[in-house]
Amino acid sequence: MKLLSLVAACALVSASVEAKTFLFPIPQEVAWSGTTAILSKNFSFQGIQNKNLQKAADRYLDLIKKERWVPVSVGTDNTTTTPTYNELQGINFQVSDNSAKVDLGVDESYTLDVPELGGFANVRAATWIGALRSLETFSQMVEAGEKETLVAHTAKINDAPTYVHRGILLDTSRNYYPVKDILRTLEAQSYNKMNVLHWHATDSQSWPLELKSLPEISKKGAYSAKEVYTAEDVQTVIKFAEERGIRIIIEIDMPAHTASIVESHPDAMICTDVFWGPYAAEPPAGQLNPVSDYAHDIVKTIAKDVSEAFPDSVYHTGGDEINTKCWDLNEDVQAYKAKNNMTTLEVWFEWTTNFLEYVKTDLKKRPMLWEDPIRDGGDYEKNTIVQTWLSPPSTYTAQGYDVVVSNFDYFYLDCGHGGWVGLDERYHSPTQTETPEDVHNYAGNAGSWCGPFKTWQRIYGYDMTKGIEKDHPGKVLGGELAMWAEQTGPTVIDGRLWPRSASAAEMYWSGSYDRAGERRTVKQSSERFYDWVYRLQARGINAEPVQPKYCATHPNACDLNDPSLEA
């Protein structure tokens, strides 16, 4: 008798499979049962055997009570949800591996069953990190119910990431971010099931990272004593990230993008005393000397120090935007080239080969590298992870490299806010009206080399599988949005990162295609995405609005084309 009624209920339920909450990023498989259950006042967790999972469970329980979410987006799904008033007592976790390391390729899959009949929801996950992801999903199934209650929409969810590497690059050199801003960014990443913060810690403008082995570099190269990440700060960031299943991959960009080393070690540098224009991609100029033992020692000391401080198995060696003219100014480089019959580019390739070998063999880390030296003709060990920003990722998967995609014309979040170099007269329009020859100010890029601004729609439109053939020996590990900080800082970081990073996060987690092979489109994700913007804001992330609120509450009224005319 009981069994029978259960079967009948299931049949009814399956009829209204579309009843849903707005999940973001969308799980791989969701089977809604079309009912809601009430969260018990004594909602509790069972089966937790990992301290980070316990902390997360506590955190999410606080969050769902605090946010009491009421969707802002009005959905186009008209199927009704039946409240059952069954009590959901809690979540029971069954985690196979409670001591997995947060690292490249760790299993993040989970199943989440929120039963119609109440009782305990069930999570099964291969690792505790997968269980973290299920908690995020569960929080998105909970909404404010009648009176003081919270209700959970009941469903069976089967989920796993499409890509293992789902990240944001944060540049803390051009402008400094206090630790609290980095932590809030990690929190926002965890809401979006992202798992990598690529910390582009240093660059030519400032060196905020304190090194035990060479403390003078940040002492002299940081913007100020306050704008430094101490060893303690670094531990705080790593721990906060680990608790949320996020890897911190540190990058100390070398041998270009290092001018700030000149403040403490001028003898290791070339061309730091010349105006930047001919010698660097941006101000100021200055590259490490590639033929100096003194400079090599510094490089190795730094890489050793940093790779020991960060537990991840991947270490980002940098390697972008070498300016050969800078090196050519130096007599030792000239002599080395002449002696070895090498071009300046070849000096760079050799330097890179040696450095990658050191990272791999001595430091026991898997190196990650900007695509530049390969694009320019260098060839490296295939266990090197290539980060693309210019060429299609297939260029490198074909060569056998694994790739992290950050192509600038999709994923550079700094683009489109004009230029920042000084005394630039190009903004001046003598007639103050549009002219055909003024391609700077009128519909042009107004000083931003990578304009226009990358919208969430543009980002979402990227197909991560494009051009990647089955016979390519390398694969796409995932992607990263790049938050270069020339024109950003703590005052604007949230609005610049979010919600655009969420748009990428869905592509990274859910993939550009669903399990049936259908392309995910802006059209389908819109109502979920719009609601997610408001929800991120409610969770304390100052995400930028993407539309008038009117559009969220009037589905399709703000479409570009009349939906009634569409086939």
Partner 1 sequence: MKFSIAAAAAAILFASVDAKTLLFPIPQSVSWTGSTNQLSNDFKITGAKNVHVKDAAKRYNKLIHKENWVQVQVTPKQTLKKGGYLSSLHIDVKNNNAKLDKGVDESYVLEVPAKGGKATLSAKTWVGALRGLETFSQLVQAKDGKKKGGKLVAHSAKITDAPTFEHRGILLDTSRNFYPVKDILRTIDAQAFNKMNVLHWHATDSQAWPFYFKSHPELSEKGAYSEEETYSSKDIKTIIKYGQSRGVRIILEIDMPAHTATIGESHPDYMICADKFWAPFAAEPPAGQLNPLHKKANKLVRDIVKEATETFPDSLYHTGGDEINTACWELDAGIQKYTKQHNMTTKEVWFEWTTDLLKYVTKTLKKTPIIWEDPVRDGGRYPKNTVIQSWIDPPSTYTKMGHDVIVSNFDYFYLDCGHGGWVGNDNRYDSPNQTESATDVFNYGGGGGSWCAPFKTWQRIYSYDYTHGIDKSHKGKILGGELAMWSEQTGPTVIDPRLWPRSAAAAETYWSGSYDKKGNRRTVKAVSERFYDWVYRMQARGINAEPVQPKYCATHPNACDLNDPSAA
Q: Which C-beta is closer to partner 1: that of 290 or that of 393? A: 393
Strand-pairing partners, residue 127, are: 97
- Peptide bond between residue 25 and the one before it cis (omega within 30 degrees of 0): yes
d(CA 433, CA 42): 67
Q: Tell me the closest approach of the beta carbon of residue 286 to partner 1, in angstroms.
A: 11
Q: Tell me the closest approach of the beta carbon of residue 529 to partner 1, in angstroms.
A: 10
Q: Which C-beta is closer to partner 1: that of 44 or that of 465? A: 465
Q: Tell me the closest approach of the beta carbon of residue 52 to partner 1, in angstroms.
A: 30
Q: Which two tokens stand for residue 552?
A: 């969220």
Please indicate whether residue 486 is annotated as part of the active site: no
d(CA 201, CA 231): 13
Whole-Å CA distances, 215 to 85, 233, 298, 319: 61, 15, 12, 23
- Specify the DSSP element, H or E, that contains 316: strand 314-318
Q: Which two tokens stand for residue 545?
A: 């609005």
Q: Tell me the closest approach of the beta carbon of residue 259 to partner 1, in angstroms.
A: 9
CB atoms within 10 A of CB 49: 12
Whole-Å CA distances, 504 to 82, 329, 515: 33, 42, 18
Q: Tell me the closest approach of the beta carbon of residue 407 to partner 1, in angstroms.
A: 8
- Alpha-helical runs (H) found in 68-117: none
Count of all residues that appear for the chain in the document: 567
d(CA 223, CA 226): 8
DSSP string, 343-366: -HHHHHHHHHHHHHHIIIIIS--E
Q: Which C-beta is closer to partner 1: that of 36 or that of 512? A: 512
Q: Which C-beta is closer to partner 1: that of 110 or that of 276? A: 276
CA torsion, points 271, 273, 276, 278, in degrees to nearest 10? Answer: -50
**Residues 189 and 136: beta-carbon distance below 8 Å:** no
Q: Which C-beta is closer to partner 1: that of 94 or that of 553? A: 553
Q: Tell me the closest approach of the beta carbon of residue 252 to partner 1, in angstroms.
A: 18
Q: Which C-beta is closer to partner 1: that of 314 or that of 415? A: 415
Q: Give the residue from 250, 402, 363 showing the smallest Cα distance to 312.
A: 250
Out of 87, 321, 346, 544, pick the active-site residue: 321
Q: List active site positions.
A: 321
